[in-house]
Amino acid sequence: MSEARSEILARIRAARITAPPQAPPVAPPQAPLSVSPQAPPGAPAPVGLVGLFCERVAHYDATVRRVATDSVAENLGSLIVAGSKVVAPRGFPQQWTAGLNALVVDGEELTKRDLDGFATVLSTCAVAVAETGTVILDGGVGQGRRALSLLPDHHVVVVKESQIVAGVDDAVGKLDPRKPLTWISGPSATADIELVRVRGVHGPRRLDVVVVGA
Amino acid sequence: MGEGLLFGEGDFPTRARHALADGQLRANLGAATTTIRERRAAAVGEVADWEELRSAGARIKDGSLAALDEMLVDFEEKFSASGGVVHWARDAQEANAIIVDLLNRSGAAEVVKVKSMTTQEIGLNEALAEAGIVAWETDLAELIVQLSADRPSHFLVPAIHRNRDEIRHIFQDHIPGIGTGLGNDPAELTAAARSYLRDKFLAAEVAISGANFAVAETGTLGVVESEGNGRMCLTLPRMLISVVGVEKVVPRWEDVGTLFQLLPRSSTAERMNPYTSTWSGVTPSDGPSEVHVVLLDNGRTNALADPVGKEALRCIRCSACLNVCPVYERVGGHAYGSVYPGPIGAVITPYLAGVETVASLPFASTLCGACYEVCPVKIDIPSLLVDLRAKHVAEANRKPLRSSEKVVMSALAWVMADAKRWQLVNRLGPLLGKLTRYRWARLAPLIGRWTENREPPVPPAHTLRNWRNNHQGLGEGMRHE
Ligand code: SF4
């Protein structure tokens, strides 16, 4: 145990005497405050969670499409630029990649620079949030390691309707914090120059979301 | 006491005067803060229970501060159990020494950095440079600031004081291989930064980050960002070092849900920022295999020991208070002379570094209260400012040195303590006014600084008292002498 550690902890305990806390240690648990889905004034009310999710994703300059279970492969094929290099994590459903000849499945032998050489990465997700148009990856089956969904310039995420929850608190409740999580809301962006929003800095510059029934 | 780059040379009035004289700066700032204020109002207006969310945010942070020792020990246990290494640093110097030592042992001569207020606070880049280690700032605005050897002036948009033409020049002068062909379009400038940094990300062995929060219950750290430079730094290198203020810890995993709703809307006025990453120690074959966290005090326990000041430790560095502040809007971040500018900077800096170190900062406010209204964790900044002003006055009273303000105030107290003296002065006032023909301020060098920007009030020809004496019949019942 370091000297710094014990000194800092001692100072914190001493502070409780000079400035006694008014609040109970640890806030009392409360019902999650999920922001109720609200349409912006004037806009037609979105139909249910899936509709809201799609609307909010589209708001970020990402494309979003709802497709039937049996037409995923076809849709993925149409999102990929012909002849470009595509990578997918292990466990990404094979029936969805049927038409993709040049697909590479990620493995330990692929270096960072190899990953950087792919144009497109395909992945699934763990949870999606309607209210904020967010997809969350937790490294589970079909999602891959974090570098994989980061280095290619184009990310296609397949979301199942059943994975969409209403609010941020609902998502937090479903996620396992021991896994490395990546919350993605639209393509990477910056507003660092005169607050002008520019799409695409270091993360994928193009994000396509495919929502599949059930 | 906090140290490092917490505070700079000189006082606020001097720096503010300098900033106010810069027309370009005022134009850049005015345009930017107006835009971001409007956007924030819209993003917050969309949330039906915003006020309850704010209260929840305040409650979570207060609850954590009330048992901070247990929170930190808990965090340490969980983070270490999953392969992370926890270090403790009492001050900036200690934190820098820990990091330099880790880097020396790793053999890395270069590191990539994610924007972090905390590493600015401790002057990490300077300490690394001294140790011969090159640190690359990878956030676009931080890169602009670093390339031009400037200082950040805003939490969120550190180069808010620069416009596109200035940035174009900075890139042309400092990024190798960029010719005069570079335009001033923000998209083009951003693309230039992307290609410049790409290779650094791929080559980096070590990254340094801050964290927006730490979860005690699960040993989780999180970084909230927009550009993806955070993801690059948190994911690609072999080793990751995160510098985290002790006040960043929250008790439970579920608490991050509240923070995730408060922070993006307050900060970038978005429903959600593009990327948020969380990690709890090391994940085998995903991301860095060596993960360190440096828990930093650097004055935070000072603030915690202050019954009023500890409220400032709730801050989640969203920067909403900067954007609404009429003082910040005009003078910009540099005038505060601290890495923490704006209303929150004016309170957190003195509580961390000691009131007398930065005595002029608590006066850098009109106490209009706009900062409190927007603060997502309900920090009552105006009350904190008043508390700090009182502390400064109490400190000044202990000193034998007499300020003109003190001379005037004690004279006034002596006069007002006695009715006879007060009457005499009342009679003298109008006389003085007549004598000096409205220019009496010149006779009073004592208040020269006060009258520099204000019209001095002219003593009236008649006082209320002598008016009443001349109208005996009207005020009969009010007489007490
Ligand atoms: S004091 Fe409040 S408004 Fe200001 S930066 Fe901190 S959290 Fe945001």
pLDDT in tens, B306-316: 999 999 999 99
The answer to whether residue B183 sits within a structural domain is yes
Q: Is residue B133 part of a domain?
A: yes
The secondary structure of chain A in percent helix, strand, coil, rounded to multiples of 5, reads 25, 20, 50
Report how far apart the first and last C-alpha atoms of chain B are (Å, whole number). 55
Pocket probe mutation, ligand 1, options B212, B327, B344, max atoms within 8 Å of Cβ: B344
Considering chain B, what is the average pLDDT of its residues? 87
Helix, strand or coil for residue B95? helix
Is A122 a domain residue?
yes
In a domain, B356, yes or no: no
Local structure of residue A7 (DSSP, 8 states): H
Q: Which domain holds residue A181?
A: 33-212
> Exposed, middle or buried by CB within 10 Å (0-12, 13-18, 19+), for A20?
exposed
R_g of chain A, CA atoms, integer Å: 21
Note whether B51 contacts A: Cβ–Cβ < 8 A.
Answer: no
The residue among B247, B275, B302 that closes a domain is B302
From B302, B319, B336, the end of a domain falls on: B302
Q: According to the model, what pLDDT value does residue B41 have? A: 94
Of residues B194 and B98, more confidence is placed in B98
Q: Do B33 and B176 lie in a common domain? A: yes
Please answer whether residues A180 and A147 qualify as being in contact, where contact means their C-beta atoms are separated by less than 8 angstroms: no
Give the residue from B254, B285, B302 where a domain finishes.
B302
Residues B131 and B246 in one domain: yes
- Residue B136 makes CB contacts below 8 A (sequence gap 6+) with B110, B111, B112, B113, B143, B146, B197, B200, B204
Residue A7, in any domain of the structure: no
Neighbours of A146 (CB within 10 A): 23
Nearest CA in chain B to A16: B305
Predicted confidence at residue B151, as pLDDT, reads 78
Window from A4-8, B20-24, B259-263 with minimum mean pLDDT = B20-24
What are the b/e assignments for B388-401, b being 16+ CB within 10 Å? Answer: bbebbeeeeeeeee
User: Is there a domain that residue A1 lies in?
Assistant: no
Per DSSP, helices labelled H in B148-228 are 164-174, 186-203
Residue A32 burial class via C-beta count within 10 angstroms: exposed 0-12, middle 13-18, buried 19 and up: middle
**With pLDDT > 90 as the criterion, what percentage of chain B qualifies?**
52
How far, in Å, CA of B142 to CA of B152, rounded? 7
User: Within this chain, do residues B288 and B426 fall inside the same structural domain, yes or no?
Assistant: no
Q: What is the pLDDT of residue B433?
A: 62
Residue A184 distance to chain B (closest CA, Å): 5
**Sign of the dihedral through C-alpha B396, B400, B404, B405:** positive
Tell me whether residue A14 is in a domain. no
Q: Which of A17, A195, A197 to mutate to test the interface with B (most CBs of B within 10 A)?
A: A195
For testing contact with chain B, the best of A33, A34, A60, A138 (most B CBs within 10 A): A33
Q: Is residue B167 part of a domain?
A: yes
Q: CA of B133 to nearest chain A CA: how many angstroms apart? A: 23
* B224: CATH: 3.40.50.10420
Are B175 and B61 part of one and the same domain?
yes
Overall average pLDDT of the A56-80 stretch: 94
Structural domain total, chain B: 2
* Domain assignment of residue B42, given as a range: 12-302
pLDDT of residue B8: 66
Of B379, B383, B384, the one to substitute when testing ligand 1's pocket (max ligand atoms within 8 A of C-beta) is B379
Nearest to A112 among B69, B159, B236 (CB): B236
Q: Which pLDDT value is given to residue A200?
A: 81
pLDDT at B347 over 80: yes
User: Is B310 in Cβ contact with A15 (below 8 Å)?
Assistant: yes
Is B459 a domain residue? yes
Amino acid at B303: A
Question: In this predicted structure, which of A50-59, A123-132, A155-164, B413-422 has the lowest mean pLDDT?
Answer: B413-422
Residue B325 counted as domain residue: no
Number of domains chain A is built from? 1
Cα angle B144, B148, B150 (rounded to 5 degrees) comes to 90
pTM of the model: 0.88
Residue B217 has pLDDT above 70, yes or no: yes
Q: Is there a domain that residue B369 lies in?
A: no
Position B179 scores a pLDDT of 73
Q: Based on the domain organization, do B298 and B417 belong to the same domain?
A: no
Separation between Cα atoms, residue B395 and residue B398, nearest integer Å: 5
- The confidence band for B439, taking pLDDT boundaries of 50, 70 and 90, is low
Amino acid A63: pLDDT: 95
| From B63, B270, B285, residue closest to A27, measured CB to CB | B63
Angle at B369 between CA B365 and CA B375, to 5 degrees: 105
Residue A187, domain CATH: 3.40.50.10420
User: Which residues on chain B are in Cβ contact (under 8 Å) with A15?
Assistant: 301, 304-305, 310
> What CA–CA distance (Å, rounded) separates B89 from B246?
10
Helix, strand or coil, per DSSP, at residue A22 = coil
Digit-coded pLDDT (tens) for B103-155: 999 999 999 999 899 999 999 999 999 999 999 999 888 888 888 888 777 76
Asked if residues B223 and B114 have their Cβ atoms less than 8 Å apart, the reply is yes
What is the best residue among B157, B321, B349 to mutate for testing ligand 1's pocket, by most ligand atoms within 8 Å of CB? B321
Contacts of B146 (CB under 8 A, 6+ apart): B125, B136, B137
pLDDT at A129: 97
Answer yes or no: do A147 and B235 touch at CB < 8 A.
yes
pLDDT at B447 over 70: no
Question: Where do the DSSP E strands lie in B246-331?
Answer: 249-250, 275-279, 290-296
Asked whether residue A132 is assigned to any structural domain, the reply reads yes
Residue A22 belongs to a domain:
no
For the question of an ipTM over 0.90, the answer is yes
Residue A85 lies in a domain: yes
Sheet order of strands, A134-137 included: A164-165, A127-129, A134-137, A181-184, B275-279, B220-225, B213-215, B249-250
Closest CA to B207 of B279, B103, B104, B96: B103
Residue A24 falls inside a structural domain: no
